[in-house]
Amino acid sequence: MKILLPPSETKREGGDGSPLDVSALALPSLAPQRSAVIDALIALAGDDDAARRVLKLSERQRGDIAHNRALWTAPTMPAVDRYTGVLFDALDAASLSAASRRWLDAHVWIHSAPLGPVAALDRIPTYRLAAGTSLPGLAPLRRHWAGPTAAAISADAPAFVLDLRSEAYAALGPVPDEVPSAYVRVVTAQGRALNHFNKKSKGLLVRALADDRPRLGSLRALHRWAEAHDFVLRDGAETGEIELVVAD
């Protein structure tokens, strides 16, 4: 099983890893697309005013331009440690055992706007780029990423994909039809969609999976695991979707 997670806008700075090597990341066939986005971000960062406008940054966020300018030279850290925010705080990967972190690395892809899906322990620099941003000199990110990412997922041939991404990031790399998958929505028992608890619940689900380290190769196996671990999963309203039900 592979789990697709969205990234977070907020990130830890710094790191002690070597500079970014796109060929060393998961799904290495995406290296040309990764390099193209990084080069476009660096070029944009050469003009502070243009970068602030395109990236929709406030004056307080001007430092993010410097981060983008240094994407090829900045220190790196594991992606699952780089991201902060509600989902990643609930996951709390830093407190997991070494075995659980290895499980995350083998089973979790975090979908980054400049890098596409990366493995949990792939080392990445800090950056600023959202899924809906249009970079000068580059095709819209959806067109740039969708086909190559779907092809890379297909070539990896996971037995099953659990898609926890937001719709914006799912559009950057649809799971191809030939790969069994389920898209997760977080709802109350009455079916009401949630926002804050959406992210927290996804983080807690992945945390529990990493703690238990199961071998799951199908949606049916995931349902059995969830029932045994007090997670409520049910069929969604749309084909290919499941609902993670949480308390209101």
- Residue 215 class from Cβ within 10 Å (0-12 exposed, 13-18 middle, 19+ buried)? exposed
CA distance linking residue 222 with residue 210, whole number of Å:
13
Which of 246, 195, 153, 196 shows the shortest CA–CA distance to 162?
153
pLDDT at 1 > cutoff 80: yes
Tally of CB atoms within 10 A around 227:
11
pLDDT digits (tens, 9 = 90+) for 43-61: 999 999 999 999 999 988 9
- pLDDT band per the 50, 70, 90 thresholds, residue 107: very high
43-55 burial, b at 16+ Cβ within 10 Å, e below that, comes to: bbbeeeeebbebb
Q: Would you kindly state where each structural domain of the chain is located, as residue ranges? A: 2-245
pLDDT digits (tens, 9 = 90+) for 113-169: 999 999 999 999 999 999 999 999 999 999 999 999 999 999 999 999 999 999 999
Q: Report the percent of the chain where pLDDT is more than 90.
A: 93
Residue 92 exposure: Cα atoms within 13 Å on the Cβ side: 10
Q: What is the mean pLDDT of residues 25-46?
A: 98
* Structure-block tokens of residue 5: 């997670």
Indicate the average pLDDT of the chain: 96
pLDDT at 194 > cutoff 80: no
Strands 181-187 and 232-235: unpaired
Q: What is the pTM of this model?
A: 0.96
